Homo-oligomer: A and B are copies of this chain.
């Protein structure tokens, strides 16, 4: 709205050098005589110079921007990942720019295109359902890193947790407490995480030589209401169970509410385990036993990997793990 910003030319004049030299000290691309270098630095400080990112982007072809494609499927898990990305990027030269894949039909592609249109130097995709073809297409336009999703032959470029293990641990915890009739409220049918968590559930039961009763496995959609309905349904059909493993906390909340309405006590009558460990879970009544996912850290790791990819540096992908957080919603069956 007011006075015009200062440019590299102003700096050049004041430091008595050419634009080229200024550019060189800014980017450290070519050695510059110490004396001049300091003059430039001084001038930049005095004039409080900020390079124009458009000019820079136009000339260099780089935006110093990382696109983040999020997808809320109803859990705060993805939000936390996004937060982690933000946190890591805050201390870098790069800024994130978000796009949400949730709204439109071909949301994923559209979002990706938007981001590419913004010339992002890299794309972090958080738990999308883009097909592998789409991914392959994107892949040779820009560096990509996937979070919360596992894709074959992308080992170095995706970060995810062992959801089978998580589901297994959750179920095992219940089995160890003595439960035999364990209901499972699954997540969205074709969602990778949901499928794996259920697989973990099955594996734990099999290992414990407990017959799997398909009646105990309910469909859910990761939201509270579906948790309520799943349990109502079980109760209505008079199917007996002493424990519930819900594929996420939100559904666990719903399940608990449904029990509460019938006066069924947790954990005395029925134990509940969730998945996510969202902030509210620790304050639930009773505090919810759940599987914790290091979402924030995942985001940070992903951002870090992306920065490395862009700079063509090497990077580590730590093996992050889920963890059982035992609280008061689980106990031995009566």
Contacts and interface: CB of A to CB of B under 8 A. Distances in A.
Contacts of A53: 54, 117-119
A227 B98 contact: no
Contacts of A117: 50, 53
Residue among A86, A100, A114, A285 with max Cβ neighbours from chain B (10 Å):
A285
A1 B119 CA distance: 12
Contacts of A58: 52, 54-55, 58
Contacts of A257: 283-285, 287
Given A224-B282, A250-B280, A98 B96 contact: yes
Contacts of A228: 283
Interface in A32-88: 50, 52-55, 57-58, 63, 72, 76, 79, 83, 86-87
Given A2-B140, A55-B58, A250 B283 contact: yes
Given A54-B57, A257-B284, A103 B119 contact: no
Given A2-B140, A95-B99, A260-B286, A224 B86 contact: no
Contacts of A90: 100, 103-104
A104 to B, nearest CB: 8
A145 interface: no
A100 B86 contact: yes
Given A2-B140, A58-B52, A97-B97, A253 B280 contact: yes
A141 B283 contact: no
Contacts of A311: none
A2 B283 contact: no
B1 A284 contact: no
Contact of A142 (B1, B87, B254, B279): B1
Contacts of A260: 285-286
Contacts of A103: 87, 90
Interface string A140-151: 111000000000
Interface in A110-153: 114, 117-119, 140-142
Interface of A: 1-2, 50, 52-55, 57-58, 63, 72, 76, 79, 83, 86-87, 90, 95-100, 103-104, 114, 117-119, 140-142, 224, 227-228, 250, 253-254, 256-257, 260, 278-280, 282-287
Given A54-B57, A95-B97, 11 more contacts: A50-B117, A54-B63, A58-B58, A95-B99, A96-B98, A98-B98, A227-B283, A253-B280, A253-B284, A257-B285, A285-B285
30 contacts: A1-B142, A2-B140, A50-B117, A53-B118, A54-B54, A54-B55, A54-B57, A54-B58, A54-B63, A57-B57, A72-B83, A76-B76, A79-B79, A83-B100, A87-B103, A90-B100, A90-B103, A90-B104, A95-B97, A95-B114, A95-B118, A97-B98, A250-B280, A253-B280, A253-B284, A256-B285, A257-B284, A280-B280, A284-B285, A285-B285
